[in-house]
Amino acid sequence: MSTGAIAGIGTDLLRVDRIERIYARHGDRFVRRILGADEQLVHARRRARDPRRGILYLATRFAAKEAFSKAIGLGIHMPMTWSRAQVLNRPGGAPEIRLSGPLADWYATRFGRAHVSMTDETDIVSAFVVIEALPAAPHSKEHTA
């Protein structure tokens, strides 16, 4: 159920060459730090088909997680970690944020649905996240007009 109230908004704009440089220096260690287990599988498949698609996948997920961390007001500070927030595609292709561990517990007590949009070009990626507020608790027998 959508509440309509917005609790947070985050955005990130990232140059792809930044991710390329980090990946060239740290390789799979960087991938394991940034991506959760399910994202790592997708990244490996995309990279095997086309190394450029692997870099763009890594860059869009990095940007989405940055945008998400801004929207929830934590930045990359506990309980927010890179791998606890995965950005995966639903069967129809739309991206969604899936949380795990302490981040999922922390988030569930504070926020409603998270909406994410990502885009990539040759040299730049962008992500935008909107966080819904939790639905208001039903009021006891009070009535407002």
Q: Are 97 and 85 in contact (CB under 8 A)?
A: yes
Above 90 in pLDDT, residue 104? yes
Average pLDDT score, the chain:
90
Phi and psi at 135, nearest 5°, equal -60, 145
Distances (CA, A) of 93 to 61, 85, 117, 132: 15, 18, 12, 21
In the annotated binding site for Mg(2+), the residues are: 12, 66
**6-133: CATH class:** alpha beta
10 Å Cβ neighbour count for 88? 14
Domain boundaries, the chain: 6-133
- The predicted pLDDT at position 112 comes to 94
Inter-CA distances, 2 with 118, 130, 136, Å: 21, 12, 11
pLDDT for res 3? 54
CA distance 116 to 113: 10
Structure token pair of residue 5 = 């109230």
DSSP β-bridge partners for residue 116:
129
What is the pTM for the complete model shown? 0.88
pLDDT digits (tens, 9 = 90+) for 111-132: 999 999 999 998 999 999 999 9
